[in-house]
Amino acid sequence: MDIKSATGVVDRDFTTFDTARQGDSAKADGKISREDLETVSRNENGKFSAEQQDAARFLLDSEASRAFLDVSADKGFLIFGGKVDGTISREDVTAAQKTLESGSYYDELLDTAAGRGGQDGNISNDDIVAALADPGVPQELKDTLNLLLAAPDGSKDLHQTLQGFTEQEVGAVSELSKLPQFQALSGSDKRLVAEAVRDSGGDLATNTKLRELLDGDRFKGMSAEQRTAALTEIALVETPEFKALPASDQALIRDAVTNRKPDDVKVAENVKKLIEDPKFAALSADEKTAVLSQVKNYPDSRSVANIERLIQKDWFGDFDLADKQRTLKSIAFMSQNDAGDPEVNKNTLNRVLDPSSKYVFAWDASFDGDLNSGGGLYGTADGTNITFNSNMVNAGNDPLTETYNSRHVVLHTIAHEVNHNVNGDKVENTYNYLEQEYRAFYTGFKAEFGHPPTNEDAMGRWRNQINGAYSARSQAAIDSSPTEARKFAEELSLITGKPVPAGASHDELKQFIQDQLDLPVSDYADPTGPAPVPPGNLTNE
């Protein structure tokens, strides 16, 4: 006997049950009480059939089933029914039959499983405990309930979750929960399965995907991290946040997950966190597309995680769409620069994206200068305010257009300007300031290329600083005194390997400086050797 068969017997023989206690059909009152059910169950006078006794015993043993019948007809024009009052009316049974025939009745069965309160659209913890202990609640539903409770906040909105579950779907979830492969999953992986089942509404296709994954040979050969990634990819596309996106945005996410590096197992997890983030939900439709476009362009878990950190920033929220697009691709591109120094890049990104960071980015299209020479202006810092040349980084949802200038802004300039702030640099017409510029260059170079500059690289920078973009400050410092001039001369001497003349005059020092700048690389003592290491913080930590 189960809820369906018991209800069918009571529906067919309602009058028998209605008057069981009174023993007189003329005393029918249209209500079946607990005493009526007990009378049928005992069958002391031998008046009731075995089937009627079984139905009565089932309803007496199952508080959830009896309460389900008790409130079935109380809905009327209301969304939910009334309170459990201990009696089952003719209308209750008729309404229950209709609900059971629909195949989707589990939410209502559990709503009053504790046998008290009323049908209010809330399956309480007491209802859950009672249902799991109730012999009349189908085992398949108990299995499904246990699986759903493994999800984060699994008991929240459980009534709504179960509302669409059919008998076939509950049966499929029950079978899924019994798989040895499911039972062997870690708690966190079971939560992913539960999320996918819950968010899909018990969808049979999703259940099939999960079952085929867990039961397949490929899953057996996966590492623990790969298994989590595979389950997350299924859970991701079932989330309400994913389903709320337009198909074009969903395709961007699917492409990112598909095109990730095989060993980068956190992409789906980080995308899931991103689209579930309230800051992402608050973006406009075009801004969400901009974010997900860079997720698709740079399907790297580090890039996705840093994009989520980026959208928390108030200054990012203040950008127009074009500058948001520039910043998104800059952060994503820098985050997955495996050719760069991982320590410098990680520290730089943390300096900018940490919740407590005071750094503020800006973009400016009014920067001038020859963008194809060393004197081009890429960015500038004023304390923690860093402004970049927007002419060098393309807007739009495409990837970064990779030119020398765009790569330099993204991979070098961010780290360079942060380094100035980390070291507390001040602009002056002194060797000390030019050495600070060299140090910021040194750090930016490592951020971009992953190794320190060579002597040849360093000379290129000093040539730019003395004869190029910083020439006014350098020449003022060199002209100011022999002491200042000697500092420049000694630095260049370390690069070329040519000794500074002993006792050189101011004019001779200036000539030595120019001679080193003009010296062919082939005349350096070690052109490919490591450049002089400047003092100060070189990691942006």
Long-range contacts of 251-256 (CB under 8 A, 24+ apart): 252/289, 252/292, 252/293, 252/295, 252/296, 253/292, 253/295, 253/296, 255/296, 255/299, 256/292, 256/295, 256/296, 256/299, 256/304
Beta-carbon contacts of residue 294 (< 8 Å; ≥ 6 apart): 303, 307, 325, 328, 329, 332, 397, 399
Give me the chain's average pLDDT, please.
94
Q: Can you give the pLDDT at residue 74? A: 59
Is the pLDDT at 434 greater than 50, yes or no? Answer: yes
In a domain, 337, yes or no: no
Is the pLDDT at 431 greater than 60, yes or no? Answer: yes
Is the pLDDT at 206 greater than 70, yes or no? Answer: yes
Q: Report the C-alpha gap between 315 and 353 in whole angstroms.
A: 11
Say which amino acid occupies 99: T
Under the banding of pLDDT at 50, 70 and 90, the label for residue 75 is low
In a domain, 74, yes or no: yes
In a domain, 287, yes or no: no
Is the pLDDT at 78 greater than 60, yes or no? Answer: no
> Model confidence over 22-33: pLDDT tens digits?
888 778 889 999
pTM over 0.95: no
In a domain, 84, yes or no: yes
Is the pLDDT at 259 greater than 90, yes or no? Answer: yes
> Model confidence over 478-515: pLDDT tens digits?
999 999 999 999 999 999 999 999 999 999 999 999 99
Q: Can you give the pLDDT at residue 367? A: 76
In a domain, 466, yes or no: yes
How is residue 15 written in tokens? 């009058």
> Model confidence over 292-346: pLDDT tens digits?
999 999 999 999 999 999 999 999 999 999 999 999 999 999 999 999 999 999 9
The domain of 438 spans 423-523
In a domain, 99, yes or no: yes
Q: Report the C-alpha gap between 169 and 205 in whole angstroms.
A: 10
In a domain, 121, yes or no: yes
Among 82, 113, 137, identify where a domain stops.
Answer: 137
> How large is the average pLDDT for residues 50-54?
97
Q: Which helix (H) or strand (E) holds 360?
A: strand 360-364
In a domain, 375, yes or no: no
> Model confidence over 385-409: pLDDT tens digits?
999 999 999 999 999 999 999 999 9
Nearest CA among 340, 373, 355 for reference residue 309: 355
Contact yes or no for 134/113 (Cβ under 8 A): yes
Is the pLDDT at 77 greater than 50, yes or no? Answer: no
Is the pLDDT at 370 greater than 50, yes or no? Answer: no
> Model confidence over 439-478: pLDDT tens digits?
999 999 999 999 999 999 999 999 999 998 889 999 999 9
Domains held by the chain: number: 2
